[in-house]
């Protein structure tokens, strides 16, 4: 009885929220925030999440685009067009914060973000507008198209030259000496390249066979 | 959509008994439903009553099953299993993580440095005190004493503040990782913990004054739910429920893991001083005295703790344990928590099974509640101290 | 008081009506205050703050807000319940409690009815409370309500015996059942020269009688540690399970009115009623009412204090306590007091 009587006169421990608020320590895990300018799109946080609440979408940047550097000195090579965190799924474990190489995802001590609809807890951090996303995608496609085209051209040119060499190499020695020579050197380099390839393949096979034999021997010796 | 009409399950009651004067009595089946005011979680106990006396009690579990073990098989990293392990026994999360880390480190042959060990022990013992405070508070609440519950929570808040400063969270920490800790403790950790130890010692005495030796409380709990030592061992009971029956078995002393062999502490057993050995009061008092012992361990650990040491030193870059299986156990506030981990060299576990102490301790409730009254059922369940998160996982 | 009212009101009947509403007003205002006080006392004993916002200063209007909320609730009567009994039970309970206030002298001028069997009448009328509890339990058509109601009735009926025995010990000294005369006998400061002439200082056995009376009173009012009827938090809610809204509100009002009633009876019988402890200082009709209510509130506060300190007794322990300890002790005490009275 005396205990409760004494407690009657002690000050209460309750904090009158919202007029008074407790001071929270600095490491407190309340809400995730992303500094999207620092994100390099490595997706380490996405992989580290145990409940899969982070969704990241990236677009490769073209060679002539300069996305700049993050504040930690990393060079950015990817456009981050989607960075969604579903805070309704998040279990506030901080496993996404640790792997980030640029410290762009972190916990902030904001706990007053209740919403009436659960879908409103899906936070999107990417700041690319749909036009920018389209632009980046279009640029990337164009570049890839270019590359493909160039590769196709080069392949066709090589083929044509090979055919030409076959036809023109037997007839005209002098006139087309330069070209033949060029063709020959082309052919020879081609033949060399082929031969080298063959040689390498043979080597690989030999190595594989040797390793297999070793494993068999080891197994035999073990058992 | 047609619904199939379910046949009511067959309930086998003993036939009505002649009670004299031409009156017949029959046993009554009653549900202590999944929601009930004694806050232990969603547990359904089907009681068969003969008037006021319990003839049979059958617990039904599974209302909180969250497939933690199956989920952990799809985690492509063992560190991602730690938040799941936390949420099993949500009242004593540090001990769960500690058990998992100890098991994994033994499997992968990782030695952590002393600073990590000492911090882990201090966290585990603080968590033990917090868990016991919750158990004692809710036990008092079930018996009808409203005030000790709130006083216990005031003390628990101080412990949770220490945890919040260290890990960032109050209940589910994700702090003890395989091979180390998530981050080092803040600079005022030692000072805070010393202050807490100094503050808490007299509070145990106050709790004893208010509740433990109160005549009404003793009347409600002594000689109720007596669990003999042999029965407890047969059922596999562990932890304070086992020690309350007089069996001196504590994994920290009898199968030491981590660095528990460096500390000097007693293993508390019940002594039946207020009733029979192994009744609810004994189990309750074992928890109270264990808090005192935990304080001793914390003090010794604080003295011996080295100030230098990198807590991230032994964190493996990629946790890929060798193929094989391991079972390792630790002493949580509820008993023996064991992890049986099977790995097949991949980065995600093949199978993790947690041997939860509350699951096994709950199985002894039907045996000890025969002959008790309905009002005693609550006392019995409260004294065995189950957490449904662990029972159902 | 009645004469004064008769001068205001045109007819005698209206004056009597107004007069009978005075205790009702007191009970209602007291209930508003006591519920708030209970929440505050319990909160501060537990390190909390209790109601703080409603109405401004420390939430004094919290009970009024709760009352308004309760009135707005849907009036549910269970389908298979006995409608008439179900609806009547709370009102009969309150009527029983309220009817007993007629015999308590709130001050030297205020007494509902000057009849000679005051205390006997109070005991009789409060037994109707157990009747209404059985009505409530039975009419709810709920196994658990019935079980709870039976237990409650058993508790109430059993604990009336120590109450009567301890009251008898006071009556043997005063020689009258009329509470006004009992209070008048306790006026003055003749005892030991400076102590007031209250019954409790009369003999050491009176102190024991008071302690026994207080314990039995706690059981009559269904307060902890005997509160199995109202907070069967172990299983279900007891006889009040099926009541919601204002009907439940009336049960709660009855409980607080009962607490006040029994506190006032304790104050009247043992602590001098409306007499001031300082003799003639601070004495008079209005001061009398003040002292009476103050003493009543002190006992109410002690009841609240006990509620938040002690755990609950189990039903069989409760009956055990009554029949094996309180009743023999109170009868032995009665005999001893009678002997003391004869000798001194």
Q: DSSP H helical segments within B109-214, as ranges?
A: 114-143, 147-167, 189-207
Q: Which residues contact B56 (CB under 8 A, 6 or more apart)?
A: B47, B48, B366, B370
Where in the sequence is the domain holding A164, given as residue range(s)? 151-216
Give the pLDDT confidence score for residue B16 in this predicted structure: 58
Question: Which residue positions in chain C have pLDDT lower than 50?
Answer: 233
Q: How do residues B151-178 score in pLDDT, each as one tens digit?
A: 899 999 999 999 998 888 888 888 998 8
- Contact: B214, C235; criterion CB under 8 Å: no
Q: Is residue A117 part of a domain?
A: yes
**Residue of chain A with shortest Cα separation from C47:** A12
Whole-number mean pLDDT of chain B?
85
C-alpha B371/C-alpha B368 separation (Å) is 8
Domain edge (last residue) among A113, A128, A143: A128
- Report chain B's terminal Cα–Cα distance, integer Å: 34
Instruction: Clarify whether residues A77 and A37 are in a common domain.
Output: yes
Q: Is C233 at the interface with chain B, CB within 8 A? A: yes
| Facing B147 at nearest CB: one of A4, A13, A92 | A4
C-alpha A57/C-alpha A78 separation (Å) is 10
Q: Is A107 at the interface with chain B, CB within 8 A? A: yes
Phi and psi dihedrals of B325, rounded to 5? -140, 155
Render B272-336 in DSSP notation, one character per residue.
Answer: -SSSSTTSHHHHHHHHHHHHHHHHHHHHHHHHH--S---TTTT--SS--PPSEEEEEEEEETTEE
Q: For residue C235, which residues of chain B lie inside 8 Å, CB to CB? A: 32, 36, 374
C-alpha B247/C-alpha C285 separation (Å) is 69
Min distance B253 CA to chain A CA atoms (Å): 32
Instruction: Clarify whether residues A76 and A170 are in a common domain.
Output: no
Q: Is residue A161 part of a domain?
A: yes
Q: Is residue A137 part of a domain?
A: no
User: How many other CB atoms are there within 10 angstroms of residue C172's CB atom?
Assistant: 15
Instruction: Clarify whether residues A113 and A179 are in a common domain.
Output: no
Q: For residue B210, which residues of chain C lie inside 8 Å, CB to CB? A: 309
| Facing B214 at nearest CB: one of C234, C311, C315 | C311
Q: For residue A6, which residues of chain C lie inside 8 Å, CB to CB? A: none
Instruction: Clarify whether residues A123 and A167 are in a common domain.
Output: no
Q: Is B33 at the interface with chain C, CB within 8 A? A: no
**In this complex, how many residue pairs, one in chain A and one in chain B, have their CB atoms less than 8 Å apart?**
55
The CATH number assigned to the domain holding A119 equals 3.30.70.3270
Q: How do residues B175-228 score in pLDDT, each as one tens digit?
A: 998 888 888 888 889 999 999 999 999 989 888 888 888 888 888 888 888 888
| Facing B165 at nearest CB: one of A25, A29, A49 | A25
| Facing A50 at nearest CB: one of B83, B168, B169 | B83
| Facing A95 at nearest CB: one of B76, B79, B165 | B79
Q: Is C150 at the interface with chain B, CB within 8 A? A: no
Min distance A29 CA to chain B CA atoms (Å): 5
Phi and psi dihedrals of B354, rounded to 5? -105, 125
Instruction: Clarify whether residues A56 and A105 are in a common domain.
Output: yes
Q: For residue C231, which residues of chain B lie inside 8 Å, CB to CB? A: 144
Render chain A in DSSP notation, one character per residue.
Answer: -HHHHHHHTSPP----TTTS-PPPPTT---EEEE-GGG-----HHHHH-TT--EEEEEEEPPTT----B-TTSPBP-EEEEEEEEETTT-----TTTTT-TT--EEEE-------SSGGGGEEE-----HHHHHHHHHHHHHHHHHHHHHHHHHHHHHHHHHHHHHHHHHH-SSTTHHHHHHHHHHHHHHHHHHHHHHHHHHHHHHHHHHHHHHHHHHHHHH-
- Report chain A's terminal Cα–Cα distance, integer Å: 78
Q: Is B316 at the interface with chain A, CB within 8 A? A: no
User: How many other CB atoms are there within 10 angstroms of residue B137's CB atom?
Assistant: 25
Q: Before C225, cis peptide (omega within 30)?
A: yes
Min distance B231 CA to chain A CA atoms (Å): 38
Nearest alpha-carbon partner for C338 in C176, C203, C182:
C203
The complex's ipTM works out to 0.80
Min distance A20 CA to chain C CA atoms (Å): 13
Q: For residue C315, which residues of chain B lie inside 8 Å, CB to CB? A: 52, 373, 375
Chains in contact with B, counting 3 or more C-beta pairs less than 8 Å apart as contact? A, C
Q: Is residue A63 part of a domain?
A: yes
Min distance A8 CA to chain C CA atoms (Å): 4
Nearest alpha-carbon partner for B58 in B369, B388, B382:
B369
* Tokens found for residue B331: 């002493």
Q: How do residues B223-280 score in pLDDT, each as one tens digit?
A: 888 888 898 999 999 999 999 888 898 888 888 888 888 888 888 888 878 788 888 8
Q: For residue B169, which residues of chain A lie inside 8 Å, CB to CB? A: 28-29, 92
Lookup result for tokens 């009702």: C24
Any idea what DSSP says for residue C195? B
Q: Before A18, cis peptide (omega within 30)?
A: yes
Q: Which long-range contacts (CB under 8 A, 24 or more apart) does B300-306 make?
A: B300/B262, B300/B263, B300/B264, B301/B118, B301/B121, B301/B122, B301/B125, B301/B263, B302/B122, B302/B190, B302/B193, B302/B194, B302/B197, B304/B118, B304/B262, B305/B114, B305/B115, B305/B118, B305/B119, B305/B122, B305/B190, B306/B114, B306/B115, B306/B118
Q: For residue A98, which residues of chain B lie inside 8 Å, CB to CB? A: 182
- Contact: C45, A12; criterion CB under 8 Å: no
C198 burial type by CB count under 10 A (0-12 exposed, 13-18 middle, 19+ buried): buried
Q: Is residue A223 part of a domain?
A: no
> Which of C40, C41, C45 should be substituted to probe chain A, the one whose Cβ sees the most A Cβ atoms within 10 Å?
C45
Instruction: Clarify whether residues A112 and A174 are in a common domain.
Output: no
Q: Is residue A119 part of a domain?
A: yes
Q: Please report, rounded to a whole number, the percentage of residues in chain A having pLDDT higher than 70.
A: 87
Q: Is B37 at the interface with chain C, CB within 8 A? A: yes
Q: Is B158 at the interface with chain A, CB within 8 A? A: no
Please answer whether residues B102 and B331 qualify as being in contact, where contact means their C-beta atoms are separated by less than 8 angstroms.
no
Q: Total structural domains in chain A?
A: 2
Min distance A112 CA to chain C CA atoms (Å): 21
Name the least confident of A121-135, B126-140, C255-269: A121-135
Q: For residue C43, which residues of chain A lie inside 8 Å, CB to CB? A: 12
- Contact: A3, C43; criterion CB under 8 Å: no
Interface of A with B in 24-83 (CB under 8 A): 24-25, 27-29, 47-50
Q: For residue C45, which residues of chain B lie inside 8 Å, CB to CB? A: 147
Q: Is B370 at the interface with chain A, CB within 8 A? A: no
Q: Check: pTM over 0.80? Answer yes or no.
A: yes
- Tell me the pLDDT band of B378, cut-offs 50, 70 and 90: confident
Min distance C246 CA to chain B CA atoms (Å): 24
* Tokens found for residue B213: 């030796």
Q: Give the relative orientation of helices B189-207 and B280-304 as an angle to the nearest 10 degrees.
A: 160
Instruction: Clarify whether residues A29 and A123 are in a common domain.
Output: yes
Instruction: Clarify whether residues A112 and A160 are in a common domain.
Output: no
Lookup result for tokens 């032995």: C332
Instruction: Clarify whether residues A103 and A59 are in a common domain.
Output: yes
| Facing B145 at nearest CB: one of C48, C234, C311 | C311
Q: Which residues contact A2 (CB under 8 A, 6 or more apart)?
A: B209
> Which of B83, B156, B160, B176 should be substituted to probe chain A, the one whose Cβ sees the most A Cβ atoms within 10 Å?
B83
Q: Is residue A211 part of a domain?
A: yes
- Tell me the pLDDT band of A215, cut-offs 50, 70 and 90: confident
Q: Is residue A2 part of a domain?
A: no
* Tokens found for residue C158: 């059993």
Please answer whether residues B386 and B238 qualify as being in contact, where contact means their C-beta atoms are separated by less than 8 angstroms.
no
Please answer whether residues B342 and B325 qualify as being in contact, where contact means their C-beta atoms are separated by less than 8 angstroms.
yes
Q: Could you tell me the residue ranges of all domains in chain C? A: 1-72, 81-343
Instruction: Clarify whether residues A108 and A173 are in a common domain.
Output: no
> Which of B26, B144, B152 should be substituted to probe chain C, the one whose Cβ sees the most C Cβ atoms within 10 Å?
B144
- Contact: C234, B142; criterion CB under 8 Å: yes
Please answer whether residues C137 and C145 qualify as being in contact, where contact means their C-beta atoms are separated by less than 8 angstroms.
yes
Instruction: Clarify whether residues A58 and A123 are in a common domain.
Output: yes
C-alpha A163/C-alpha A183 separation (Å) is 10
Instruction: Clarify whether residues A97 and A158 are in a common domain.
Output: no
Interface of B with C in 349-378 (CB under 8 A): 373-378
B281 burial type by CB count under 10 A (0-12 exposed, 13-18 middle, 19+ buried): buried
| Facing A10 at nearest CB: one of C47, C306, C309 | C47
Nearest alpha-carbon partner for B328 in B304, B348, B308, B354:
B354
Q: Is A8 at the interface with chain C, CB within 8 A? A: yes
| Facing B206 at nearest CB: one of A3, A25, A50 | A3
Q: For residue C215, which residues of chain A lie inside 8 Å, CB to CB? A: none
Mean pLDDT of A27-52: 87
- Tell me the pLDDT band of B8, cut-offs 50, 70 and 90: very low
| Facing B164 at nearest CB: one of A13, A28, A107 | A28
Between A182 and A98, the higher pLDDT residue: A98
- Tell me the pLDDT band of A144, cut-offs 50, 70 and 90: confident
């Amino acid at each position: 009885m005396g205990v409760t009587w004494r407690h009657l006169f002690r000050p209460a421990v309750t904090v009158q929220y919202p007029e008074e608020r407790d001071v929270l320590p600095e490491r407190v895990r309340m809400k995730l925030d992303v500094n999207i300018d620092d994100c390099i799109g490595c997706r380490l946080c996405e992989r580290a999440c145990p409940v899969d609440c982070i969704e990241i979408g990236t677009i490769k940047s073209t060679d002539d685009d300069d996305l700049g550097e993050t504040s930690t000195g990393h060079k950015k090579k990817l456009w981050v067009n989607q960075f969604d965190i579903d805070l309704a799924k998040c279990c506030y474990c901080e496993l996404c914060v640790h792997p980030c190489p640029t410290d762009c995802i972190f916990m902030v001590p904001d706990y007053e973000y209740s919403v009436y609809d659960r879908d409103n807890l899906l936070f999107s951090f990417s700041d690319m507008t749909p036009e920018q996303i389209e632009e980046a995608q279009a640029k990337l496609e164009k570049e890839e198209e270019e590359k493909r085209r160039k590769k196709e051209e080069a392949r066709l040119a090589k083929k044509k030259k090979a055919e030409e060499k076959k036809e023109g190499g037997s007839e005209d020695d002098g006139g087309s000496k330069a070209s033949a020579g060029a063709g020959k050197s082309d052919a020879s380099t081609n033949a060399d390249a082929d031969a080298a390839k063959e040689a390498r393949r043979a080597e690989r096979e030999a190595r594989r066979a040797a390793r297999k034999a070793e494993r068999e021997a080891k197994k035999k010796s073990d058992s | 959509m047609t619904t199939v009409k379910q046949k009511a399950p067959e309930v086998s009651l003993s036939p009505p008994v002649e009670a004299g004067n031409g009156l017949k009595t029959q046993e009554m089946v009653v549900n202590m439903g999944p929601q009930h005011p004694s806050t232990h979680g969603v547990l359904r106990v089907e009681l068969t009553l003969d008037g006021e006396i319990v003839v049979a009690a059958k617990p039904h579990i599974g209302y909180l099953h969250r497939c933690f073990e199956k989920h952990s098989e799809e985690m492509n990293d063992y560190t991602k299993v730690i938040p799941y392990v936390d949420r099993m026994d949500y009242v004593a999360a540090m001990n769960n993580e500690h058990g998992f880390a100890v098991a994994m480190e033994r499997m992968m042959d990782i030695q952590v440095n002393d600073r990590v060990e000492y911090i882990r022990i201090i966290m585990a013992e603080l968590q033990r005190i917090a868990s016991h405070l919750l158990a004692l508070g809710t036990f008092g609440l079930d018996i009808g004493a409203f005030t000790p519950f709130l006083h216990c929570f005031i003390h628990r808040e101080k412990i949770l503040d220490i945890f919040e400063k260290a890990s960032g969270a109050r209940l589910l920490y994700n702090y003890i990782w395989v091979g180390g800790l998530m981050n080092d403790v803040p600079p005022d950790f030692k000072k805070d913990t010393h202050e807490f130890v100094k503050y808490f010692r007299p509070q145990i005495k106050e709790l004893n004054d208010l509740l433990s030796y109160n005549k009404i409380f003793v009347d409600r709990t002594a000689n109720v739910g007596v669990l003999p030592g042999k029965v407890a061992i047969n059922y596999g009971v562990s932890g304070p429920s086992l020690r309350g029956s007089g069996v001196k078995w504590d994994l920290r002393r009898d199968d030491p893991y981590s660095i528990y062999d460096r500390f000097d502490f007693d293993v508390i057993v019940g002594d039946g001083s207020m009733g029979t050995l192994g009744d609810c009061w004994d189990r309750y008092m074992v928890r109270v005295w264990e808090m005192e012992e935990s304080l001793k361990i914390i003090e010794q650990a604080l003295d011996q703790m080295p100030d230098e040491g990198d807590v991230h030193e032994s964190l493996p870059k990629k946790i890929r344990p060798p193929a094989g299986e391991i079972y390792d156990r630790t002493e949580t506030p509820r008993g023996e928590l064991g992890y049986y981990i099977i790995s097949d060299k991949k980065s995600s576990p093949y199978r993790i099974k947690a041997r939860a102490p509350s699951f096994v301790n709950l199985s002894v409730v039907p045996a000890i509640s025969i002959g008790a009254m309905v009002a005693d059922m609550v006392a019995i369940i409260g004294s065995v101290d189950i957490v449904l998160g662990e029972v159902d996982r | 008081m009645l004469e004064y009212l008769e001068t205001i009101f045109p007819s005698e009947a209206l004056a009597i009506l107004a007069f009978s509403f005075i205790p009702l007003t007191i009970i209602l205002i007291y209930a508003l205050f006591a519920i708030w006080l209970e929440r505050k006392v319990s909160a501060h004993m537990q390190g909390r703050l209790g109601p703080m916002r409603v109405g401004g200063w420390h939430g004094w209007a919290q009970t009024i807000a709760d009352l308004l909320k309760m009135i707005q609730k849907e009036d549910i009567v269970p389908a298979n319940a006995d409608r008439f009994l179900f609806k009547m039970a709370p009102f009969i309970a309150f009527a029983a409690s309220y009817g007993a206030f007629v015999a308590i002298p709130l001050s030297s001028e205020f007494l509902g009815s000057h009849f000679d069997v005051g205390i006997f009448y109070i005991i009789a009328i409060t037994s109707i409370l157990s009747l209404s509890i059985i009505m409530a339990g039975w009419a709810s058509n709920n196994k658990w309500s019935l079980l709870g109601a039976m237990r409650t009735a058993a508790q109430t009926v059993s604990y009336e015996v120590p109450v009567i025995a301890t009251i008898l010990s006071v009556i043997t000294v005063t020689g009258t059942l009329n509470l006004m005369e009992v209070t008048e006998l306790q006026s003055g400061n003749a005892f030991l020269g400076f102590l007031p002439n209250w019954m409790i200082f009369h003999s050491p056995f009176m102190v024991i009688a008071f302690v026994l009376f207080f314990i039995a009173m706690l059981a009559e009012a269904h307060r902890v540690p005997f509160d199995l009827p109202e907070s069967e938090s172990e299983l279900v809610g007891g006889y009040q399970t099926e009541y919601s809204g204002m009907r439940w509100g009336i049960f709660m009002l009855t409980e607080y009115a009962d607490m006040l009633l029994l506190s006032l009876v304790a104050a009247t019988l043992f602590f001098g009623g409306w007499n001031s402890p300082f003799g003639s200082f601070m004495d008079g009709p209005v001061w009398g009412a003040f002292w009476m209510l103050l003493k009543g509130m002190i006992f109410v506060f002690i009841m609240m204090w006990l509620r938040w300190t002690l755990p609950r007794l189990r039903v069989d322990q409760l009956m055990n306590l009554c029949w094996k300890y309180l009743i023999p002790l109170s009868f032995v005490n009665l005999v001893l007091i009678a002997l003391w009275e004869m000798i001194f």
